[in-house]
Amino acid sequence: MSQPRQILHLISLLDGYGQSKQMRQLVTQQLADACRVRIVALSANSRERFSCEQSGAVVRVLQQRWSYDPIAAWRLTQEFCQQPFDLLHVWGFAALRYASFVRPATSVAPCVATLAELPPGRFNARVDRFVLTSPQECQTEQTVVIAPGISTEAQEPFPRDQFLRALRLSEDSRIIAIAGQLTRDKSLEEAIWCFELVRTLDESARLIFFGDGPDRHRLERFARLASDASAIRFLGYR
């Protein structure tokens, strides 16, 4: 009987969004195929770490503090040396940079890197395949394009009236929803300003944020200052 395949995923940020979400879907299938999966993250939030562990993956967080943290690099070296793996899958350029610096030269396991774009040439030598999410002008024989996947699990519909009751909103509420990671680069405060203009035309309008992120607390403060706090809801990660 053949031994289960050992797969090591190294990811820049384990948070349930973007590449983290894509990795999670792949890991779910690998675990279903009886692979042994380890996830090493430079940083992670506790919710997503717990969720990955509940699914059956072994998770280690390196607690990165700076753009290149020598202590996190040393911890990654220990991960590479202590337990063997048959495949290394790197997610994100920050993770690729760490792997390029500390992966043992004697390692013969193939390496796959999923990135938004191709990295500088000096990072290409020890990567067997680059997976890009969209076609690019400078593709090479090392690259393959795979569009982001979506879950095929059936979702039970959630009735509108039940949703409104759960939020204690009236049945005539007009819902505007924003979904995704709450980060400063998305300029979500502009959405709050625009919503306040909409509310002057229709007082039944309500703005709902689905998602979490490092900018959430600032956006909540901004919402209290710019609008009626009861008209804007932050529901967190869903």
Question: Considering 118, 145, 172, which residue would you say is the last residue of a domain?
Answer: 145
Residue 153 lies in a domain: no
Domain that holds residue 198: 160-234
Please report, as a single letter, which amino acid is at residue 87. L
110 and 44 share a domain? yes
Helices 188-201 and 216-226: crossing angle in degrees, nearest 10, is 30
- The pLDDT value recorded for residue 35 is 97
173 and 74 share a domain? no
Question: Considering 100, 117, 145, which residue would you say is the last residue of a domain?
Answer: 145
Would you put residue 191 in left (φ > 0), alpha (ψ -120 to 50) or beta?
Answer: alpha
Q: Is residue 1 very low, low, confident or very high in pLDDT (cuts 50, 70, 90)?
A: low
pLDDT > 80? residue 125: no
- The pLDDT value recorded for residue 122 is 78
Q: Is the CB of residue 110 less than 8 Å from the CB of residue 87?
A: yes
Helices 46-55 and 18-32: crossing angle in degrees, nearest 10, is 20
pTM of the model: 0.87
Residue 194 lies in a domain: yes
Q: CATH number, domain at 70?
A: 3.40.50.2000
Sign of CA dihedral 163, 15, 133, 131: negative
Would you put residue 71 in left (φ > 0), alpha (ψ -120 to 50) or beta?
Answer: alpha
Summarised one tens digit per residue, pLDDT across range 77-103 is 999 998 899 999 999 999 999 999 999
Question: Considering 145, 178, 206, which residue would you say is the last residue of a domain?
Answer: 145
- The pLDDT value recorded for residue 124 is 81
